[in-house]
Amino acid sequence: MTFQVSQEATSDVVSPLDEAGVGAIVLDAIERKAPLAIRGAGTRAGLGRPVQAARALSTERLTGVTLLEPSELVVSARAGTPVAEVEAALAEKGQRLAFEPFDHRPLYGTSGEPTIGGLVAANASGPRRVIAGAARDALIGVRMVTGRGEIIRSGGRVMKNVTGYDLVKLAAGSHGTIGVLTEATFKTLPMPESETTLVLEGLDDAAGVAALCAAMVTPFEVTGAAYLPARGDTPSCTCLRLENFESQLRYRTAALEKALGHRGPTNRLDVPTSRALWREIAAAAPLLGPERRMIWRISAAPTRAAELVAKLRPVIASHFYDWSGGLVWIAVEPAEDACAGVVRPAVQAARGHATLIRAPLATRAAVEVFEPQAPALARLTRAVTAAFDPEGVLNPGRMHAL
């Protein structure tokens, strides 16, 4: 069984060359009352509820880094620019994005290069979120074409900016429902000189998550905190990443080991092994098993994570924790409701929320993909969406049923 994640029925894809072109297509869609599916390179197709649109608008030809100022810790790029291209341009200057992108390709079996626009639309944040914030936190400026066909900017290129409402945050994670992003500006940070990962072996879920939390409350600035359960002969791994100048790293690794050592034997990973490990975690690769499995992404306070997983144990085929336990990935065997009947109540009891990340189209049309909202919150969400897209021409139905 394959998911055909990108098989939403769109007969025609338009890829404008500039922002004005995006505006014209949106205006035309409004005029013709013909909704658009919004996409970048399609590597995250499969995320969200299916959209019914005859036409897709792709931003993949809006490319290019438009501003790179290392001394001001800032980078801007057009929406269709590959994330890898921005990262390469930054690396040349010894910098990287202030947050760690999450890569959905292994989950969806997609290929191609994820774009800046898709990264923002999905607020796709990897392991470093635990200390450095999410994509939305590093995003300081956007340009977009709203569902009214109007070009707007919010934020800018400076770090501190409270001029007008922060529409930047609304754009991040909006899955193309309030506007078509045309350009994004991010905060950057220096690339650390080196990194290592400290691995504690053999802890159970509760002890592993407790160790992650214990590491996060030290002053040593742990930039990755993930727990990978035992698999076959491999014992469970409680993984803690440190990134810094070489000299600081030596001190901090030893200090962290001392703080956690009594919890179990520890290993230190060298730079290439550490990098490879976190690249996998930043793509939920530790979860991967048979392609037919359905996948949930659960956010809850780290202190309630292990108990939540214990409750879900009967349906879990595989799982792991990132973000100090605050992000739990679980795979379940195929079921008509993707086990929503078990997952949702348990997650709600843990005061968390769950997103059905991977499931066939039909399942994602029938089961709530995103956490259902209380009526007042749902009303506000719809009102705010309508403030940008009154006719519902941009990705209608992506985030909630119409």
Minimum CB–partner distance for residue 105 and other proteins (Å):
20
- Could you count the other beta carbons within 10 Å of the beta carbon of residue 70? 14
- Which secondary-structure segment (H or E) carries 107? helix 105-108
Contact 240, 198 (CB under 8 A): yes
Segment 81-120, which members bind other proteins (CB under 8 A)?
94
Kindly indicate which of the ranges 52-60, 257-265, 276-284, 350-358 contains the residues binding other proteins, using the contact rule CB under 8 A.
Answer: 350-358
Q: Does 63 bind other proteins (CB under 8 A)?
A: no
Decide: is 17 part of the binding site for other proteins (CB under 8 A): no
Q: Are 296 and 107 in contact (CB under 8 A)?
A: no
CB nearer to other proteins: pick between 146 and 182: 146
**Residue with smaller CB distance to other proteins, 38 or 41:** 38
Residues forming a β-bridge with 14: 57
Is residue 164 at the binding interface for other proteins, with CB under 8 A as the rule?
yes
Judged by CB under 8 A, the residue of 217, 271, 310, 349 near other proteins is 217
Q: Which is nearer to other proteins, 362 or 387 (CB)?
A: 387
Q: Which tokens go with 81? A: 């620019």
Q: Applying CB under 8 A, does 377 fall inside the site for other proteins?
A: yes
Token look-up 């000189």 returns 193
Q: Is 258 in the site for other proteins (CB under 8 A)?
A: no
φ, ψ (nearest 5 deg) of residue 176 = 70, 20
Of the two residues 161 and 266, which places its CB atom closer to other proteins in the complex? 161
> Whole-number minimum distance, CB 273 to other proteins, in Å?
23
> Does position 162 bind other proteins by CB under 8 A?
yes
Q: Which of 4, 7, 34, 69 binds other proteins (CB under 8 A)?
A: 69
Shortest distance (Å) from residue 190 CB to other proteins: 3
Round to whole Å and give the CA distance between 119 and 252.
Answer: 32
Establish if 323 lies at the interface with other proteins (CB under 8 A). Answer: yes
CB of 70 to other proteins, least distance (A): 6
Helix (H) or strand (E) holding 242, with range, is strand 237-244
At which residue do the structure tokens 């034997």 appear?
265
Question: What is d(CA 298, CA 321) in angstroms, rounded to the nearest whole number?
Answer: 9
> Which H or E element spans position 348?
helix 340-349
